[in-house]
Amino acid sequence: MGDRIAELRFRRGMTQEQLAERAGLSVDVVRKLEQGRRQTARLSSINALARALDTEPSYLVGQPTTFDVRTTEESALPSVLALRQAVSPVSDLLGGDADPEEPPTVEALRAALASTEVIRRDGRMAEIGALLPQLIRDARTAAHAYTGADRAAANSVLAVAYQVAATTLTALGKEDAAFTSMERSLLAIEQCDDPALETLTASTLSWVFTKQGRLADAEQVALARAEQIEPSFRSAPEELALWGILLLRAATAAVRQEKYDAVNEFLRMARGAAGSMGEDRLVHATPFGPTNAAVAHVNFLVEMDRGAQAIAASRVPGLGSLPPTWRARFHVDRALAYDSLGEDRAAAGALLKAESAAPEWMRYHATSRRLVADLRERAPRRDTALLGLADRLGLIG
């Protein structure tokens, strides 16, 4: 990260002092990052540096740009190019026969989407990359071939598949391609009239904007949709969950802008909705309820650099009910909190728990990789557990 910051700073003709002033950070932070004495920084700081340098946060943090393939099966190889071609086929530009294959049944499409969502929750990125292009092509073919209810159902599957593509491309630092995928998702939703999918699209788009560093846009998108669907606390659990998911998205964007009063207000409302639900629910692969709201609270405390409070709040009951990637992210937040307190051994232990929950997801998660690299630099050579983790993440050699 330090090398990338220094290179862009040089290209833009800025001194370290000028960059620090534009980003609203101390010169010491910029200097330590460029010199490699710090591998990690708060996400609000990374976003501020990205804005000052006119780049994406994913570039600064060294986000993996392609799939990490650890298989010998040629037929199972994932491909960023194949995913791009599925999202933006050349037939859309040149015309011609866009659907040469027979359309699958709606039941087959729904089954394929359900299995893809399980893989997604587990963080098995390579499998998503291998399966998703064909699912998008199949859903497009069905949406073009069918009429009436079957066409609407095919478009529902297509809309969600495009959103999975958007999150996958964003995880690989391809935010612009992810935005194109979100535009395609919105077009598909117009053909299926599913308000829940409209809400999930706003949530996913907010997340993509957050990853792009477009934090004000991310907050605005989430809040605009939240205002449209605002429920009463007598509403059905799914309606409360969808509203709560949007509030947490808005809070994520707000905390990275250091708008802490807004974060606390969004979290208060989300926890109220979760309390009315009484239990966690999974809405199109996204969990929401008391457990997820508590996990989000820990994340926001970490983002606010309140490590001790985050550790105190991290005794979250029912954690096992969350999908693996959510549990992994929670343990990474614990690791960041321990790191901020100088407790390296506890931080390493939390990272190992994160890896146990979602090992493949860890290889794509830039924050985890930076923290492991930082801890490895300080760890004694006999710390085989941490060195082994660094090796599995590809940080040794």
Give the contacts of 75 (CB within 8 A, at least 6 positions apart): none
Rounded CA-CA distance 263/297 in Å is 10
Distance CA 344, CA 176 (A): 37
Quick one: average pLDDT of 78-91?
A: 91
Confidence at residue 83, expressed as pLDDT on a 0 to 100 scale? 94
Using a 10 angstrom Cβ sphere, with 0-12 exposed, 13-18 middle and 19 or more buried, the burial of residue 367 is: middle
pLDDT of residue 96: 61
Q: What is the residue-wise DSSP string for 324-386?
A: HHHHHHHHHHHHHHHHHTT-HHHHHHHHHHHHHH-HHHHHH-HHHHHHHHHHHHHS-TT-HHH
Residue 228 lies in a domain: no
Are 373 and 33 contacting, i.e. CB atoms less than 8 angstroms apart?
A: no
Percent of the chain with pLDDT over 90: 71
Report yes or no on 87 lying in a domain.
no
| Domain end among 16, 48, 68 | 68
**Final residue of a domain: which of 11, 33, 68?**
68
What is the spatial distance between Cα 276 and Cα 141, in angstroms, rounded to a whole number? 41
pLDDT band at 62 (very low <50, low <70, confident <90, very high): confident
What type of residue sits at position 191? Q
Residue 211 lies in a domain: no
pLDDT digits (tens, 9 = 90+) for 120-164: 999 999 999 999 999 999 999 999 999 999 999 999 999 999 999
- Cβ-Cβ contacts under 8 Å for 72 (sequence gap 6 or more): none
Looking at residue 321, the DSSP 8-state letter turns out to be G
Domain tally, the chain: 2
Q: CA–CA separation, 155 vs 142, rounded Å?
A: 8
CB contact set of 244 (below 8 Å; sequence gap of 6+): 269, 270, 273, 274, 277, 288, 293
Residue 55, by phi and psi: left (phi above 0), alpha (psi -120 to 50) or beta? beta
In a domain, 16, yes or no: yes
Gap between the Cα atoms of 345 and 339, Å rounded: 9
Note down the domain range covering 46.
1-68
* CATH (domain of 27): 1.10.260.40
How far apart CA 211 and CA 171 sit, in angstroms, is 9
Which single residue is written with the structure tokens 């929670």?
A: 330
Q: How many CB atoms lie within 10 A of CB 114?
A: 11
Instruction: Give the chain's end-to-end CA distance (angstroms, integer).
Output: 18
Domain assignment of residue 138, yes or no: no
Tell me the CA distances in angstroms from 152 to 21, 146, 366, one per residue in order.
52, 9, 38
- Better pLDDT: 222 or 3: 222
Q: Which two tokens stand for residue 24?
A: 């609203």
From 38, 68, 98, give the residue that closes a domain.
Answer: 68
Mean pLDDT of the chain: 91
**Residue 35 lies inside a defined structural domain of this protein:** yes
Residue 339 lies in a domain: yes
**pLDDT single digits (tens) 311-358:** 999 999 999 999 999 999 999 999 999 999 999 999 999 999 999 999
The pTM (predicted TM-score) of the whole model is: 0.88
Specify whether the CB–CB gap between 38 and 364 falls below 8 A: no
Q: Are the beta carbons of 339 and 305 closer than 8 angstroms? A: no
Q: Is residue 29 part of a domain?
A: yes
Strands 281-283 and 286-288: antiparallel
Asked if the model's pLDDT at residue 72 lies above 50, the reply is no
CA angle 163, 81, 201 (to 5 degrees): 10
Percent of the chain with pLDDT over 70: 95
9-15: Cβ within 8 A, 24+ apart: 9/34, 9/53, 12/53, 12/54, 14/52
Element (H, E) at 282: strand 281-283
Residue 184 burial by Cβ neighbours in a 10 Å radius (0-12, 13-18, 19+): buried
